[in-house]
Chain A
Amino acid sequence: MKVGSPARKGLWLGIAAIILIALPLLVKSSFTIDIFIRILLFSFIGVAWNLMGGYAKQLSLGHAAFFGLGAYTSTILQIKFGISPWIGMAAGGVVAMLASLPIGALCFRLRGPYFAIATIATAQVLMLIFLKLRDFAWGAEGTTIPNLGNAPLMMQFEAKAAYYYIVLGLAVLGLAITWKVERSWMGYYLVAIGEDEVAAEAVGVNAPRIKRDIYLISSFLTALAGTFYVQYIYFIDPNTAFNFNISLEAALVSIVGGIGTLWGPVIGTVLLESSAALLQSWLGSVRGGIQLTVYSLILMAVILWRPTGLIGIFTHWYERIVHRRDLARAA
């Protein structure tokens, strides 16, 4: 079904871009900006997860491994060697890519639930290792990142808006890569593997290679998010960097929004994060467990009633609006 012309789609994207760029100028409350940053950050992590988990249906629950490696690489480079986190960010991505090779070699032998369990274990093992690394990586206490005031070259800013633009850039990067992959031969191979790996291999798809390649891309992007996050909160410890909730939210936002779709993770994040923010403002303070209780209820509802994700509802509305306008114009 054709939804709008390319020109009209471009127009919508243009409007969205202007709104997103203007947003920090219009919104002054730092609480609100913080919510936007969280939404963009988790959209980005979700998009990175979705490349592998959504298109190839390799349901990882261990993306915190790469988030943490990205975070630790840039922090260690910055504090021990004085290297800018901008370079550290790229270095973290490379470290994560290198780590994805053995992790992938181990976990890709497994299917379905056991792949998920094995990826949980890899992230947890990394966390336990970093807890033990006292001299090299500050052990369990972690460390604060020295505040240099306004130092753009060291990825430190006084204005929250700067962080907003960085993470907006990351999200756009992730979406652009997804858009590109979706339209390439690799995207078709990924979907084929996701549908039925045995059948895909039977028609000549080199499944192990494709899965390895997409894992490299996905882990690289996730590591960028890790660096950004510790620079944003000025603190790192193993429990922050390798927190299971990162792995969880990466998968959750994609599934709720629509697994294996370009905009699914974004829609999922907007829904989940805004529900969390609403809860927080209603209840005043957050009671332990309330946010994940709501998330898990939403997740269950999606699985039972709309396993393809909520994106279907939005495309349906969009089609109806576009369709009605076309009819009106024709009349």
Chain B
Amino acid sequence: MLATVAQAVVNGLLIGGVYALVSIGVTLIFGVVKIVNFAQGEFVMIGMYITFFLFMQFGIDPLVSLLVSMPALFIVGVLLQHFLIRRVLGQNDMPQIFLTFALSLLLLNLSLLLFTANYRSVHTWYSDEALHFGEVYIPVAKLIAFVVAMTLSGALWAFLHTTDLGKAMRAAAQNREVAMLMGINPNRVFCVAVGVALALAGAAGSLLMPFYSAYPMVGQVFVLMAFVAVVLGTLGNVLGALVASLMMGMAESLGIQFVGADSGLIVVFVMLLLTLAFRPNGLAGGRARL
């Protein structure tokens, strides 16, 4: 029993690390640009397909393809901000919500059209390896994903707190007008924020590939998880999103273990509704900060 619980907690924590990359992206865009990116999950999906095709065509290991998927999605993010999101900033709710929503629909259905609904997976030498600690085993692929995800989150934290650009981003998140008066170019900061967020989604895609199948709808799972984690961790709060994602991963894993294999999603939705009902400002109590 204890071993089962420990195993579920470990599994949840490891996948929670990947959820964290997606959630941090959502919360970063929300914090800086004040837009909820409904398409974040689709960028995870794109990261997965990039990784899949690099592996199939050139035999490139998913971990190496991080070096392709992250920069590629960074550029996509910059273009997305510059050509699309910028045009709806300052408008009312409808365009702000439905622009990224339409983008999510478009990317999902385009990939359905191009790649069909088939599941694609990649088998690496470490896909089936596991470390054993007594009765608990730790899959190597998930462990790598977790460690890289935490490293990237740490790097983002350092970027936001030590570099000028990172500080400018936090300033723009705290007060856009004052930041502009201090000479910060908002569009440039926004472009970098969306670029970084998408690069994190791309990284999540590459990290998932050794143990998770790619299919057009795959992003939906991650974006829903991210929305819950982002609300739970207080909108716009990077550290909150990270902690909440790890919690979500564990809650989902325990739900699957003790309620039933098909109950993963119901746990997520119920947690979302409970959070919105009782702690709509998040567990940290409404302090949004990057």
Secondary structure of the B contact surface, majority rule: helix
Interface residue from B92, B105, B117, B216 paired with A295 (Cβ < 8 Å)? B105
Cβ-defined partner of B87 (8 Å) among A57, A110, A291, A304: A304
Q: Could you say which residues of chain B place their CB within 8 Å of the CB of A299? A: 98, 102, 105
How near does chain A come to B172, taking the closest CB pair, in angstroms?
A: 20
Q: Are A289 and B109 in contact (CB under 8 A)?
A: yes
CA distance A185 to B77 in the complex (A): 45
Bound CA span A256–B247, Å: 39
B233-258 vs A, Cβ < 8 Å mask (1 yes, 0 no) = 00000000000000000000000000
Q: Is A104 an interface residue (CB 8 A)?
A: no
B231 neighbours in A (Cβ, 8 Å): 114
A105 to chain B, nearest CB (A): 9
**Once the chains bind, are A106 and B93 in contact (CB under 8 Å)?**
no
A59 near B93 with CB under 8 A, answer yes
Task: Tell me whether B110 is interfacial, beta carbon within 8 Å.
Answer: yes
The residue on A at minimum CB distance from B270 is A125
Docked-complex contact B95 and A307, CB < 8 angstroms:
yes
Chain A contacts of B102 at CB under 8 A? 296, 299-300, 303
A300 to B91, CA, bound (A): 15
Contact-residue size bin, chain A (C-beta under 8 Å from the other chain)? 35 or more
| B interface footprint on A293-309 (CB within 8 Å = 1, 0 otherwise) | 10111011001100100
Inter-subunit contact B94/A288 (CB<8 Å): no
User: Is B99 at the interface (CB under 8 A from chain A)?
Assistant: yes
Chain B residues, CB < 8 A from A261: none
Complex interface: chain A residues within 8 A of B101 (CB): 116
**Contact across chains for B36 and A292 when beta carbons are under 8 A apart:** no
Q: Does A122 contact B (CB under 8 A)?
A: yes
Size range of the chain B interface in the assembly? 35 or more
A116 and B35 alpha carbons, distance in the complex (Å): 13
The SS class assigned to the A binding surface is helix
Q: Which residue of A lies closest to B280 (CB)?
A: A109
Whole-angstrom distance between the alpha carbons of A290 and B216 in the complex? 13
CA of A295 to CA of B95, assembled, Å: 15
Per-position contact with A for B119-155: 1 when CB-CB < 8 Å, else 0?
Answer: 0000000000000000000000000000000000000
Is B266 close to A, CB under 8 A? Answer: yes
A303 vs B117: C-alpha distance when bound (angstroms): 28
Given the interface contacts A109-B280, A296-B105, does A303 sit within 8 Å of B99 by beta carbon? yes
Interface residues of A in 124-139 (CB under 8 A from B): 124-125, 128
Using CB atoms and an 8 Å cutoff, list the residues of chain B in contact with chain A: 36, 38, 84, 87-88, 91-99, 101-103, 105-106, 108-113, 116-117, 216, 227, 231, 265-266, 269-270, 272-273, 276-277, 280
Residues of A whose CB lies within 8 Å of any CB of B are 57, 59, 106-107, 109-114, 116-118, 121-122, 124-125, 128, 248, 251, 255, 259, 287-293, 295-297, 299-300, 303-304, 307
Residue pairs across A and B with Cβ atoms less than 8 A apart, 18 shown, are A57-B92, A59-B98, A112-B93, A113-B38, A113-B96, A124-B265, A128-B265, A248-B105, A255-B94, A288-B117, A289-B108, A289-B111, A293-B110, A296-B105, A299-B98, A300-B99, A300-B106, A303-B98
